[in-house]
Structure 1
């Protein structure tokens, strides 16, 4: 069994991934979040729930000790600072594999009218810190994969395609369940897409904006 630490475990994508991990019964999970009571019902033989803040680097370092994979589903205005704390903690204890959720547009890789709309929606305090955090992750000594999902939906489907950094982003939306499916696949194969930054979208959703706008 692999030992997988999930940071920001209450996030919606993380919850889909946790459900898949638990259903497959192949891993020991550590769920790390600011309010452990939210997920205490998920605790069990192979799932422990820990109350903590990734900004507490020393505590995160203690929790990360002995883990095989870390999956970070973090958010907030201080996302760059969270990335620095995460990298510091993992490098200190020799945990190398990190899967990091970011967002589309951090490289100005979204083309056309949708790219312009995406900038209008996310510039001015959102894209900038997420871009800075991704730079921290990519420049670390860790074996990293950065995921850049399109605009997220709660559709109960797994349907996605990938683009690499340096390629134009495709599509406008993707389900959280799809992103979670990719996270689980990456966690199960530690060499898969190492050092890649992957755009994630649902095929056939090209347009000027997501369908619900």
Structure 2
């Protein structure tokens, strides 16, 4: 049994990952988020507990990390680099090594062709830059990290994905949030997978100049 700290636990991907972790593993989940009352009445009290916290507050992070085996961070915001910095420092302080970090496609300018140009048009001006900076913080740490770079996200009720590694051209234009949740579950089930890797995740056979819902 593993103890997993979920940072940003009310996010859409995080909720899907939590559901799959409860259904398919024996992991105990600590759900760390601001305004935890949002999840009151929506959790499995035998295996989940709520913690009120801010991912830029190192003291709160350290308190929540004690006794944990894996940190799964599903965070957002213009201060994502600061959050990454505080999380790495807190994990070093507590002595936890395994981190699963959700990022975004395009942080290495790895998306080719017309889709790459469109992705820049949509995400430049703060988003790609801040997520890239946060990923550098993670990659420059001594943690056993996996950076996950999803394609544009859909709410399709499907698990269907493939992976590319850092240094390879990104494939496909979209992927379901449920697929990313399934990947997180897989990494929790076997934490030895994809250590030190930054992986792109897409639904196979969705190549194009933009996701289907933008066409």
Deviates more, 1:196-205 or 1:15-24: 15-24
1:23 paired residue number: 23
Query: Partners in 1 of 2:76 and 2:4 — Cα distance?
Result: 19
Deviates more, 1:38-47 or 1:180-189: 38-47
Query: Partners in 1 of 2:40 and 2:187 — Cα distance?
Result: 26
Query: Partners in 1 of 2:208 and 2:24 — Cα distance?
Result: 36
Residues 99-114 of structure 1 mapped to structure 2, 5 A cutoff:
99-114=100-115
1:132 paired residue number: 133
1:120 paired residue number: 121
1:12 paired residue number: 12
Deviates more, 1:137-146 or 1:16-25: 16-25
Query: Partners in 2 of 1:24 and 1:186 — Cα distance?
Result: 12
Query: Hey, which bits of structure 1, 4+ residues long, moved more than 2 A?
Result: none
SS in 1 for 2:15: helix
1:150 paired residue number: 151
When normalised by structure 2's length, the TM-score is 0.98
Query: Partners in 2 of 1:17 and 1:84 — Cα distance?
Result: 24
Query: Partners in 1 of 2:166 and 2:65 — Cα distance?
Result: 28
Per-residue CA distance 1:129-171 (angstroms, 9 max, x = gap):
0000000001111100000000000000000000000000000
Tell me how large the CA RMSD over aligned residues is: 0.7
Residues 54-203 of structure 1 mapped to structure 2, 5 A cutoff:
54-203=55-204
Per-residue CA distance 1:41-96 (angstroms, 9 max, x = gap):
21411110111101110111011011000100000000000000110101100000
| Count of residues paired in the alignment | 213
Query: Partners in 2 of 1:43 and 1:19 — Cα distance?
Result: 10
The answer for unaligned runs of 5 or more in structure 1 is none
